[in-house]
Chain A
Amino acid sequence: MEYVWFIVSGVVAGIFGGMGMGGGTFLIPLLTIFNGVGQHTAQAVNLISFIPMAVIAIVIHLKNKIIKFDKILLIIIPGLFSCFFGFYLSKNLTGNILSKVFGGFLIALSVFQFISSIKKDENTKL
């Protein structure tokens, strides 16, 4: 029965993701809050389930020619190193603590998003 909830969580997160709203960020709390899945597991699931979707999306975006390549290596290569570092840090935190830090991150993100969407509104009204 559990797997039904996992599918539903995936669908909900996927809908937001398909709208370009960072669905992955949503999948993690969905899995950990309602299904008793550990934080590290939820993160791993999110990472891996993102890959096929991303490949499909990228193929479409390439066809539509809306990807900008000129700085891409400069962005990706340093990022790969810091990615290692982030992972190493996460490995050394317990699921509980990581979960709380992630919660704080979500709050910060949501505030930031909310404010910037209001700002956008004000700009378009002017």
Chain B
Amino acid sequence: MENEKNDLNIKKEKMFSILTGVLAGFINGLFGGGGGMMVVPMLSKLLRYPAKVSHATAILIILPFSILSGLLYAYNGNCKLSVLFPAGIGVIIGGVLGALLLKKLSSKWVVIIFSVVMAVAGVKLLLF
């Protein structure tokens, strides 16, 4: 019985892993982003990774998708360097700031602010 249970769990884990990858990859290719926001909860809830491990592993998962998508989009002529360079520099600066700030702000508020801002942005994009 024990062995059967273990086998089932292993199969479940494999299926969840594949599902996570398929969804994240699809979102990454379709939207050029947002995959991470799906991967983290899937890793922590379906595969039961601890929170920090979910976040860290998610980056390693999204990276190859982003490289592939990035190449595809660039090949398709979508990447304007005049936008990429300033935005890219901003992202690096912001990323360092954010990593430093992370220690100081309470996560609860960060998530709330972020959710509200995302919702507003989403509504604007959807309706206008």
Contact = CB atoms under 8 A, between A and B. Distances in A.
Interface of A: 2-4, 6-33, 35, 37-38, 40-55, 57-58, 61, 64, 66-68, 71-72, 74-91, 98-100, 102-114, 116-117, 121
Contacts, number: 355
Interface of B is mostly: helix
Contact of A85 (B29, B36, B37, B66): B29
A92 to B, nearest CB: 11
Interface centre among A6, A16, A19, A40 (most CB of B within 10 A): A19
Majority-rule SS of A interface residues: helix
B59 to A, nearest CB: 5
A74 B60 contact: no
A37 B118 contact: no
A41 B126 contact: no
Contacts of A89: 29-30
Contacts of A116: 41
Nearest to A28: B33
Given A32-B125, A85-B29, A43 B22 contact: no
Which 8 A-B pairs have CB atoms at the shortest separation, nearest pair first? A10-B90, A14-B94, A18-B98, A43-B32, A86-B29, A103-B125, A79-B25, A106-B122
Contacts of A109: 34, 37-38, 118, 122
Contacts of A87: 29-30, 69, 72-73
B1 interface: no
